[in-house]
Amino acid sequence: MKAIVWFGMCCLYGLSFSVAHALTSQQVHDIVSGETDTRIESLQKTLAQADAQTAVFLQALADDAVLVAGQQVLIVRDNKATDAVTNQETALPAGAENVVSNNRMRGEIDSALAALQLLSPDDALRMKAAQALLSEPDPSKKILLEKAIAAEKNPAVSQLLLLAQAAIDITNNDAKVRLAAAKALGNSKTPNTQLLLNQQMTQETDAAVKAQMLASLADIKSALAWGERLGALFTGLSLGSILLLVALGLAITYGLMGVINMAHGELMMVGAYATYVVQAFFRKHMGGAFDYYLVAALPVAFLSAALVGALVERAVLRHLYGRPLETLLATWGISLILMQTVRTLFGAQNVGVENPSWMSGGVEVLVNLSLPWNRLFIVLFALLVLAGVALLISQTRLGLFVRGVTQNRAMASCMGVNTARIDTYAFALGSGIAGLAGCALSQIGNVGPDLGQGYIVDAFMVVVLGGVGQLAGTVYAALGLGVLNKWLEGWTGAVLAKIAVLVFIIIFIQKRPQGLFAMKGRSAEA
Amino acid sequence: MTPDLMSQGVERLEKHKFKQVQALASGGRHASFSRIHQPGELDLAHGRILYLEDVNVSFEGFKAINNLSLDIGVGELRCIIGPNGAGKTTMMDIITGKTKPDSGQVFFGSTIDLLRHNEPDIAQLGIGRKFQKPTVFEQLSVFENLELALKTGKGVKASMLFKLNGQQQDRLSEVLHTIHLENHLLRQAGNLSHGQKQWLEIGMLLMQDPKLLLLDEPVAGMTDQETERTAELFLSLKGKHSLMVVEHDMAFIRQIADTVTVLCDGSVLAQGSFDDVQDDERVIEVYLGR
Amino acid sequence: MKTITLPQPVRLLSPLGWTVFIGILLAVGVLVPVLNLWVPVGHALHMSDFAVSLIGKIMCYAMCALAMDLIWGYTGILSLGHGLFFALGGYAMGMYLMRQIGTDGNYKSELPDFMVFLDWKTLPWHWYFSDSFIATLLLVVLAPGLLALVFGYFAFRSRIKGVYFSIITQAMTFAFMLLFFRNETGFGGNNGFTDFKRILGVPMATPAMRMLLFVLTGMCLLGCYLAARWLVQSKYGRVLQAIRDAESRVMFSGYSPLPYKLSIWVISAMICGVAGALYVPQVGIINPSEMSPANSIEIAIWAAVGGRATLIGPIVGAFMVNGAKSWLTVVAPEYWLFVLGALFIAVTLYMPQGVLGVFIHIKKRLKRSHGESS
């Protein structure tokens, strides 16, 4: 009985072979059964002769909707079974088993589906498929690609397809083919092509091809250069905006009040952990509104850091005014206590803070320049905070009192200003801004007990460079240092760039000890 | 031989010695031409120990010193008076090197350009300053304060190996006696009264043995008796040293001044003997009142 | 005119002081070796190897605290980067010790292990004289000294003072720490130097060598103390204190502060370098975390706890704080940082004169009450 069925199937297969470009049941059967290696081989072979039904079948495979019952292969969707080859509805036979595909198989199925997009009626889909193939050339898709090129009517897609073919041809045995491919690839100004050419160049033996590769590489490089420059500028601005946030609080506590706060980094850490707590709360109790947790986290971070700051000021710093070196040591002690408290409460490991969905991803400005949304938002945020602080200091009564108290305490006190309370408010303001900085940092980096340690030296450098007494100095210094640091990184690597920046500041301070913007005339310190 | 004849004789002798010293400095001749010029050495042959000309200083748009021209004779006791903000302390800052003027000339003697030197150098050249607020070294004793001010090598090695020799000990005792702090030798300077601190600072000035003393409100906060003693001290210093005293106490100034200069708004308003200045209309209007 | 008796020049130490000094000298040089090497293990008076190495380590720290007192207590310059000088001295000695390993390392090569690991074929230029003990001794003093000279010259010349100076010293040590963490710098990267075998051909892991290092450290500490005391009691020391109290006044008295500040800064750096060089053979390891800003700030707190401007105070402070640290990190490690932080705050708020200051205060009170009652 079995032999008769088997013979019948062979005839059917023989018949199906005569229909050259249609999906055959033999093909289907080979793809769903046997070892993964043979299955993949069959898949590749089938691709070469693909048609619309192949796409349907492969999609079903990817969706795990394929069952096999004996020699029959069925696709089951919504409890309706269709034959995989003919696409006719049939009854679901008993004993049908699911087709299982391992990861490798899945990968092959996915890439086959992608390649099939090359033949899709939709222009946009074809374009996408061509780009994908160009970034990751796959020699096994060569035949399919040639078919697509032959059938392509759209000139833009056609160009991409030709480039994709060149990307495959670059590994051809024939030197002439490689030469032509190298030349063609010069038109693809993407980092992926750059990488491909670089990789192939190390294995290239033919001198002419090599020369052409170099020429193409130079072309691509000059096109990408702008992207790289702007990219460096943006990361510099991003770092600068972070430094600005970090240093702004310090500029208030040191610049206006003369208090050196070595615990400033830890106040940032408090803000970051406050954000973490808010995030956990939202996740647990308000899952639906998770994306808006930042809106609640900002005031919580500000207030928690401000409260800690106020506490520190009242308990410790109040008794140390006029003694800057002692203040330095006492605040270092506070930083140790804060760090150890957080370690005890939350553990010594980093904790995870996720971006809300509207901050994930980025906007692609150029081929090789993608600006992440979270960093863009932080730049904006830093500017907003700066504007807020400037307005507060210059336009409000509180700001006036703060300025008065810091310039002439005795006189302000005679005028009825409660200097002790103003001190607390001012320090709390500076600490609160540190908390906001911590909240911002939690969005782009790790949150752990030593979050503050990484930024404290930079923050002090900004204040020292910018000069005290004016916010403008802090702004220029922060942005300038951020850009300088990132620009140097491109040349010397991160560590040496940081060292170079520190050395630069030390030398700059020799020439101009008062910093960029300093208060002239008879000041208290002079 | 009566006592006042004796003292007259002593005075004449001193004047003669002074002339001799001056004559030596000018190579035996009084004329200034063809005199041997020693750059860096103080040259007093012209009779002027301090010379300011057309000095200007502004702080953030505010003109503190405005075309100030002033000079002080060798051995003179000049008093500077004027309202607050007239620029008296700023003028001292410029002379001692603490502030650099925007324009103008400041000379010590006829050869030393003070604008080219820094504070320690100017102090070593022979200009001593007493500050408005008594500035002594609070943690050190009276003895140590005076020892620090002693006129001797001020370098690191000299200080490490320093030991008071007999002559220096005598000088120290002498100054201690002059400032009436013999009983407070080992007291920490920070524990002295305000008047005593003023005296200690004057003592430190004396130890430096400067040729020109700049004294900024030396009797502020002193009792009448202490003020009297200070006047006596300054009068005894006059002649061998030149003094510039800034003060508001008119009785004190009347007692000591040779010449009085009135500063107002950063420049010289009037100059002359005490009586001349006291009667000057402009000075009355600006400072003395009716 | 009444003759005034001026105070006589102060002797280096009072008779009581000399007695105590000789006592400590004998304790370090004779008593401890006897208690550790000769008295058998298990005996009540035996001093354990652990105690010897701990005290040896703390004596090195005490030298740093002494150096800190010279520039902070007496000259008013708070340095938050002295750990760098300590580490440089340590690295200089470390280089020598690495060379002394010879071919006994993991890779059985003439080159130190980490160089083989990085695939280097020859010694870099800064290792050229590291096999000479004399050259190493010179480097131990010269490396921190020269760095201090250059840094100090430029900093003091532009009259950077106060907190600005402190922040810049912190930046300096931070920058060097980053530099030494890199493998390419050629100092062992973040692993540093360890696994030492010999000094001058003599094996290091023996009790005799440990005791020798201990005694040497003790002698150096005592010697530095005497030298510091001589400096501080001279007019030079008084000028330093004057600079601390009223720098502008000092200038107007004719002293240029720059050579004074620079000289004491360099001397202080060299003492720290020597301390580092004695430290490394005793603990057996040196790595860039010795240059961390936290280490340098701790030196300042030892001086503050003990009592600034007393020379003995910082030594006492170093012993007290490090003793507490050794004890607490074993008994209740999660509390150590709380205690240290609280110590910083308590000392600055309530004990600005340190522990010694409290003693002196009590002594004065007793004397006064005695004086009144008698």
Q: What is the DSSP string of B178-244?
A: HTT-GGGTTSBGGGS-HHHHHHHHHHHHHHH--SEEEEESTTTT--HHHHHHHHHHHHHHBTTBEEE
Q: Where are the alpha helices (H) located in chain C, listed in sequence order?
A: 15-26, 32-33, 49-68, 82-101, 113-117, 133-157, 162-181, 207-233, 235-245, 247-252, 257-283, 293-306, 312-331, 333-350, 354-373
Q: Is the dihedral of CA C44, C47, C49, C53 positive or negative?
A: positive
Report which of C210, C200, C186 is spatially closest to residue C100, judged by C-alpha positions.
C200
pLDDT confidence of A520, banded at 50, 70, 90? very low
Q: Which residues of A touch B59 (CB under 8 A)?
A: 520-522
Report which of A398, A149, A41 is spatially closest to residue A252, judged by C-alpha positions.
A398
Q: Does residue A188 register a pLDDT over 90?
A: no
Helix, strand, or coil (residue A49):
coil
How close A379 gets to chain B, by Cα (Å)? 35
Is the distance from CB of A262 to CB of A431 less than 8 angstroms? no
Residue B126: inside a domain, yes or no?
Answer: yes
CA–CA distance, A255 with A247 (Å, rounded to integer): 10
φ and ψ at residue B150, rounded to 5 degrees? -55, 140
Is the distance from CB of A160 to CB of A134 less than 8 angstroms? yes
pLDDT confidence of C283, banded at 50, 70, 90? very high
Average of per-residue pLDDT across A338-342 = 93
> Which segments of chain A belong to CATH 1.10.3470?
228-511
Radius of gyration, CA atoms only, chain C: 22
Which of A253, A259, A332 best probes binding to C when mutated, by most C CB atoms within 10 angstroms? A332
Report the pLDDT value the prediction gives residue A98, as an integer from 0 to 100. 81
CA–CA distance, C93 with C221 (Å, rounded to integer): 18
Kindly state whether residues B14 and B149 are assigned to the same domain: no
Using a pLDDT cut of 90, give the percent of chain A over it: 14
Residue B45: inside a domain, yes or no?
Answer: no
Residue B131: give its domain's CATH number. 3.40.50.300
Report the pLDDT value the prediction gives residue A269, as an integer from 0 to 100. 94
Looking at the structure, give the CATH architecture of the domain made up of residues A228-511: Orthogonal Bundle (1.10)
Cross-chain Cβ contact C344/A260 below 8 Å? no
If you average pLDDT over every residue of chain A, what do you get?
80
Residue A166's contacts (CB-CB under 8 Å, 6 or more residues apart) are A180, A181, A182, A184, A185, A188
How close B87 gets to chain A, by Cα (Å)? 14
Helix, strand, or coil (residue B72):
strand
CA–CA distance, C84 with C179 (Å, rounded to integer): 12
For A210, other C-beta atoms within 10 Å of its C-beta total: 16
Q: Which residues of A touch C172 (CB under 8 A)?
A: 502, 506
Report the pLDDT value the prediction gives residue B29, as an integer from 0 to 100. 54
- From first CA to last CA, the distance across chain A in angstroms is 108
**Domain that residue B201 falls in:** 75-96+120-288
Report the pLDDT value the prediction gives residue A522, as an integer from 0 to 100. 37
Q: Where are the alpha helices (H) located in A397-519, listed in sequence order?
A: 397-407, 409-414, 419-444, 453-466, 471-492, 494-511
Residue A276 touches chain C, beta carbons under 8 Å: no
Residue C202: its H or E element: strand C202-203
CA–CA distance, A335 with A37 (Å, rounded to integer): 60
Residue A498 touches chain C, beta carbons under 8 Å: yes
Residue C184 touches chain A, beta carbons under 8 Å: no
For B197, other C-beta atoms within 10 Å of its C-beta total: 22
Average of per-residue pLDDT across A20-32 = 72
Report the pLDDT value the prediction gives residue A523, as an integer from 0 to 100. 37
Residue B245: inside a domain, yes or no?
Answer: yes
* Domains: count for chain B: 2
Residue A242 touches chain C, beta carbons under 8 Å: no
For B115, other C-beta atoms within 10 Å of its C-beta total: 14
Using a pLDDT cut of 90, give the percent of chain C over it: 47
Give pLDDT tens digits for C97-129.
988 887 877 777 778 888 888 878 888 888 888
pLDDT confidence of A13, banded at 50, 70, 90? very low
Please state at what angle helix A494-511 crosses helix A471-492, rounded to 10 degrees.
140
How close B157 gets to chain A, by Cα (Å)? 27
Is the distance from CB of B123 to CB of B113 less than 8 angstroms? no
Residue B6: inside a domain, yes or no?
Answer: yes
How close C172 gets to chain A, by Cα (Å)? 8
Nearest residue on chain C to A318, judged by CA atoms?
Answer: C349
Window from A47-56, A265-274, B278-287 with minimum mean pLDDT: A47-56
Report the pLDDT value the prediction gives residue C257, as an integer from 0 to 100. 92
In this structure, the strands spanning B48-59 and B103-108 are antiparallel
Report which of A439, A161, A462 is spatially closest to residue A296, judged by C-alpha positions.
A439
Kindly state whether residues B127 and B258 are assigned to the same domain: yes
Edge-to-edge strand ranges of the sheet holding B62-73:
B62-73, B48-59, B103-108, B112-113
Q: Does residue A166 register a pLDDT over 80?
A: no
Report the pLDDT value the prediction gives residue A367, as an integer from 0 to 100. 67
Nearest residue on chain B to A522, judged by CA atoms?
Answer: B59
Q: Does residue B3 register a pLDDT over 60?
A: yes
Asked whether the ipTM of the predicted complex exceeds the cut of 0.95, the reply is no
pLDDT confidence of C140, banded at 50, 70, 90? very high
- List beta partners, residue B261: B80, B271
Give pLDDT tens digits for B186-196.
889 989 988 88
Report which of B264, B209, B242, B230 is spatially closest to residue B91, judged by C-alpha positions.
B264
Nearest residue on chain B to A523, judged by CA atoms?
Answer: B59
Report the pLDDT value the prediction gives residue C279, as an integer from 0 to 100. 96
Q: Does residue B280 register a pLDDT over 80?
A: yes
Q: Which residues of B touch A520 (CB under 8 A)?
A: 59-60
Residue B126 touches chain C, beta carbons under 8 Å: no
Residue C9 touches chain B, beta carbons under 8 Å: yes
Cross-chain Cβ contact C170/A316 below 8 Å? no
Residue C8 touches chain B, beta carbons under 8 Å: no
CA–CA distance, A76 with A98 (Å, rounded to integer): 10
- From first CA to last CA, the distance across chain C in angstroms is 35
Give pLDDT tens digits for B182-230.
888 888 998 998 888 888 999 999 888 899 999 999 888 888 888 898 8
Cross-chain Cβ contact A503/C175 below 8 Å? yes
Pick from A333, A336, A457: which is nearest to C171 by CB?
A457
Report the pLDDT value the prediction gives residue A18, as an integer from 0 to 100. 38
Residue A178 zone, left/alpha/beta (φ > 0; ψ -120 to 50; rest): alpha
Is the distance from CB of A47 to CB of A141 less than 8 angstroms? yes
- The residue among A52 and C134 whose pLDDT is bigger is C134
Q: Does residue B139 register a pLDDT over 90?
A: no
Cross-chain Cβ contact B159/C253 below 8 Å? no
Radius of gyration, CA atoms only, chain B: 20
How close A309 gets to chain B, by Cα (Å)? 35
In this structure, the strands spanning C193-194 and B267-272 are unpaired
Report which of C68, C350, C95 is spatially closest to residue C224, judged by C-alpha positions.
C68
Considering only residues 73 to 92 of chain C, which have any Cβ-Cβ distance to chain A shorter than 8 Å? 78, 80
CA–CA distance, C340 with C334 (Å, rounded to integer): 11
Q: Does residue C19 register a pLDDT over 60?
A: yes
CA–CA distance, A99 with A75 (Å, rounded to integer): 10
Residue type, A326: E
Report the pLDDT value the prediction gives residue C141, as an integer from 0 to 100. 95
φ and ψ at residue B103, rounded to 5 degrees? -155, 165
Pick from A260, A464, A513: which is nearest to C158 by CB?
A513
Kindly state whether residues B153 and B282 are assigned to the same domain: yes
Radius of gyration, CA atoms only, chain A: 33
Average of per-residue pLDDT across A415-420 = 84
**CA–centroid distance for A419 within its chain:** 46
Average of per-residue pLDDT across A465-484 = 82
Give pLDDT tens digits for B71-83.
998 889 999 998 8
Give pLDDT tens digits for A68-111.
877 778 888 777 788 877 777 877 777 778 877 788 888 788 77
Nearest residue on chain A to B59, judged by CA atoms?
Answer: A521
How close C348 gets to chain B, by Cα (Å)? 19
Pick from A328, A457, A495: which is nearest to C166 by CB?
A328
Window from A145-159, A256-270, B90-104, C324-338 with minimum mean pLDDT: A145-159
**CA–centroid distance for A217 within its chain:** 27
Nearest residue on chain A to C157, judged by CA atoms?
Answer: A510
Report the pLDDT value the prediction gives residue C143, as an integer from 0 to 100. 94
- The residue among C331 and A165 whose pLDDT is bigger is C331
pLDDT confidence of C84, banded at 50, 70, 90? very high
Cross-chain Cβ contact C343/A333 below 8 Å? yes
- The residue among A387 and A215 whose pLDDT is bigger is A387
CA–CA distance, A255 with A240 (Å, rounded to integer): 19
If you average pLDDT over every residue of chain B, what do you get?
86
Window from A171-180, B23-32, B60-69 with minimum mean pLDDT: B23-32
Q: Does residue A8 register a pLDDT over 60?
A: no
Considering only residues 134 to 173 of chain C, which have any Cβ-Cβ distance to chain A shorter than 8 Å? 154-155, 157-160, 162-164, 166-168, 170-172
In this structure, the strands spanning B77-81 and B259-264 are parallel
Dump the DSSP string for A88-148.
-EE---TT-EE----HHHHHHHHHHHHHHGGG-S-HHHHHHHHHHHHHS--GGGHHHHHHH
For A42, other C-beta atoms within 10 Å of its C-beta total: 19
Residue C43 touches chain B, beta carbons under 8 Å: no
Residue B82: inside a domain, yes or no?
Answer: yes
Using a pLDDT cut of 70, give the percent of chain A over it: 93
How close B156 gets to chain C, by Cα (Å)? 6
Residue C308: its H or E element: none
* Highest mean predicted confidence (pLDDT) among A139-153, B15-29, C284-298: C284-298
Residue B102: inside a domain, yes or no?
Answer: no
Residue C158 touches chain B, beta carbons under 8 Å: no
Cross-chain Cβ contact C236/B160 below 8 Å? yes
How close C51 gets to chain A, by Cα (Å)? 28
Report the pLDDT value the prediction gives residue B25, as an integer from 0 to 100. 67
Helix, strand, or coil (residue B141):
strand
For B224, other C-beta atoms within 10 Å of its C-beta total: 10
CA–CA distance, A342 with A263 (Å, rounded to integer): 13
Report the pLDDT value the prediction gives residue B27, as an integer from 0 to 100. 57
Q: Which residues of B touch C257 (CB under 8 A)?
A: 120
Residue B4: inside a domain, yes or no?
Answer: yes
Average of per-residue pLDDT across A161-179 = 77
Q: Is the dihedral of CA B78, B218, B152, C156 positive or negative?
A: negative
Residue C304 touches chain A, beta carbons under 8 Å: yes
How close C308 gets to chain B, by Cα (Å)? 13
Residue B107: inside a domain, yes or no?
Answer: no
